[in-house]
Amino acid sequence: MRFLLVEDSEKLSRAISERLVLDGHVVDSVSDIGAAEAMLHSTEYDMILLDLTLPDGHGWDLLKSLRARADKSPVIVITARSELTDRIETLDAGADDFIVKPFAFAELEARCRAVLRRKRGDASNKTALGNVEFDTLEGTLSIEGKSTSLRNQELRLFEALFSAPGRLQSKSFLLDRLFAFGSEGSDNAVEVYIGRLRKKLAQSNLEIETVRGRGYRLNICE
């Protein structure tokens, strides 16, 4: 997944980013609302982690701006405020969930998974397509009971394709899923990981189709 982390504490921001990257995610980290808005206008995110107290304003302002323009990106608010009224206002402003500082990283990860399951309408981390079962938590795909682990970039790429079967995904979009903003990446990197995924799907009825000059899409072969 690709995360936007909006947090002005350098220490906390670095700790969260390192943990999420270790778990195989891409993280773009900024420290104020202005930078967050700039990133949101150029990149699509699977999850936004938003602090409330920021140098150039209140996190609610960014949250309300997102919802006002019908941006439904999942948002988990990170806050030091634990009063009931603060929590109610946070949810009413459009947050999908919140977590109170200090928190355990395991709790943050669990809340992220829960929010994404609700967004997808899933009751678990496992989703089936064709004869493939994809476990987003374990980072595995199973074909008729045989499980295969996905490496970090493979996992990010497969998540993007698996979440929208039949939809054409451009190389630029998929490249965006693979690398954080400012990191070096190339179309060739997408091709390499597509090739690896095809090998792991060889015994399945899913096929990654290449649409020359446009991108890729995941199809179910009858």
56 and 97 assigned to the same domain: yes
Tell me how far apart the alpha carbons of residues 141 and 9 are, in angstroms, rounded to a whole number.
37
Final residue before a domain boundary, out of 99, 120, 141: 120
Q: Which residues contact 144 (CB under 8 A, 6 or more apart)?
A: 131, 203
131 and 209 assigned to the same domain: yes
Is 14 a residue whose pLDDT tops 80?
yes
13 and 42 assigned to the same domain: yes
Count: domains in the chain: 2
189 and 132 assigned to the same domain: yes
Query: What is the per-residue pLDDT across 28-54, written as a single tens digit (0 to 9) for each?
Result: 999 999 999 999 998 889 999 999 989
106 and 13 assigned to the same domain: yes
Label the pairing between strands 206-211 and 215-220.
antiparallel
Q: From 163, 162, 181, select the one nearest 4 (Cα to Cα).
A: 181
Average pLDDT, the chain: 87
**In this structure, what CATH number is given to the domain that contains residue 154?**
1.10.10.10
43 and 104 assigned to the same domain: yes
Q: What is the pLDDT of residue 106?
A: 77
**In this structure, what CATH number is given to the domain that contains residue 75?**
3.40.50.2300
113 and 9 assigned to the same domain: yes
Tell me how far apart the alpha carbons of residues 109 and 125 are, in angstroms, rounded to a whole number.
13
Q: What is the pTM of this model?
A: 0.67
79 and 169 assigned to the same domain: no
Final residue before a domain boundary, out of 94, 120, 146: 120
132 and 208 assigned to the same domain: yes
70 and 112 assigned to the same domain: yes
Query: What is the per-residue pLDDT across 65-116, written as a single tens digit (0 to 9) for each?
Result: 999 999 989 999 998 876 777 778 888 888 999 888 888 887 888 888 888 8
Is 171 a residue whose pLDDT tops 80?
yes
Backbone φ and ψ for 92, nearest 5 degrees, come out as -65, -25
Q: In which domain, by residue range, is 184 found? A: 126-220
41 and 81 assigned to the same domain: yes
116 and 132 assigned to the same domain: no
Final residue before a domain boundary, out of 120, 155, 187: 120
- Averaged pLDDT for residues 151-175: 87
